[in-house]
Amino acid sequence: MFRSSIHFRAPLAGLVVAALLAGCAPAPMTPAGQSSSSAVPPEYQARPDGDRVVPPVNPAYLNERNRRRWVDYTGPEGKDTIVIDPYARLLYHVVEPGRAMRFGIAVGKAGKGFSGNAIVGRKEDYPYWQPTANMVRHDPALYGPLAGGLKGGLDNPLGARALYLYRNGHDTYYRIHGTMDPSSIGKATSAGCIRLFNQDIIDMFDEAPLGTRVKVRSRAESLELEGPVHELHTGYVVPEAAVELIAADEAAWQAGQITDPAILEAQQHAAAVASAEARGSN
């Protein structure tokens, strides 16, 4: 079972295709800063990792759907299976019949370009990342300076670890990986596959050997098993039945308390381009 599972029972904190998949990583943004705090659950505190130290996760990002937790699992998948729901933005690691560890995930456009069964066919510790030719053509300002690739590290879009999914012996170009942008977890992103907090992918990497079965749900399967979800103005999703949360989000939006996502995306893109230019010149 998970190495630090003793902590997972703590109370919750608050609330196209092959070409795109080949570039299954988020935009190479500048890492978001965090500071350690007693408010950070033990499993998300700063963590030594070889010659690196993984920063703590800002507790503001650890809402109920993002923070990992034990749940009863009612899906048809059996023990030792990873189940990805890109529509509900959840990942389950089924560790025993009817019981799973649930994680919040960020989902890029490529994350909805694959469904069905696969296995973990390759694992990488601090993986190398390189944008595809298609990514460079689509956004030369962002990806052009990094066309030569980035070595592994905490400032790499794939984060601390990556699991590579294979089907029938072939790479699907679908990845489960860490992130340099923990604020993105629980949200849809402009690029990439499936990303988790670095602390989560580190533990999953250790608990998911090569050959681990993976199921990626279709939209129909997500609706059947999770029910419909509603995307808030903050970018997170909640069940459509969470009417009070949805109403509060709408009121905050109308009051101007939530920044327009389009403005945030433009700001993030500008910061990412500046970061890419700086790293590309080194």
Q: Does the structure show a pLDDT above 80 at 192?
A: no
Q: pLDDT for 263-280, tens place per residue?
A: 888 888 888 888 888 877
Q: pLDDT for 110-164, tens place per residue?
A: 778 899 999 999 999 999 998 888 889 988 998 898 899 999 999 999 999 999 9
Give the number of domains in the chain. 1
Q: What is the pTM of this model?
A: 0.86
Q: Does the structure show a pLDDT above 50 at 12?
A: no
Q: pLDDT for 69-124, tens place per residue?
A: 999 999 999 999 999 999 999 999 999 999 999 999 999 877 788 999 999 999 99
| Residues 161 and 206: beta-carbon distance below 8 Å | no
b/e map of 124-161 (b: 16 or more CB within 10 Å)?
A: bebbebbbbeebbeebeebbbbbeeebebbbebbbbbb
- Return all residues near 48 (Cβ < 8 A) that are at least 6 apart: 54
Q: Which one is catalytic: 24, 170, 193, 269?
A: 193
Mean pLDDT of 251-267: 90
Q: Under DSSP, is residue 124 helix (H, G, I), strand (E, B) or coil? A: strand
Q: How confident is the prediction for the chain on average, in pLDDT?
A: 86
The domain of 10 spans 5-280
Q: Which one is catalytic: 7, 170, 177, 230?
A: 177
Determine whether 24 is an active site residue.
no
From 217, 216, 24, select the one nearest 110 (Cα to Cα): 24
Q: Does the structure show a pLDDT above 70 at 25?
A: no
C-alpha 106/C-alpha 25 separation (Å) is: 11
Could you tell me which residue, 135 or 63, shows the higher pLDDT?
63
CATH number for the domain harbouring residue 104: 2.40.440.10
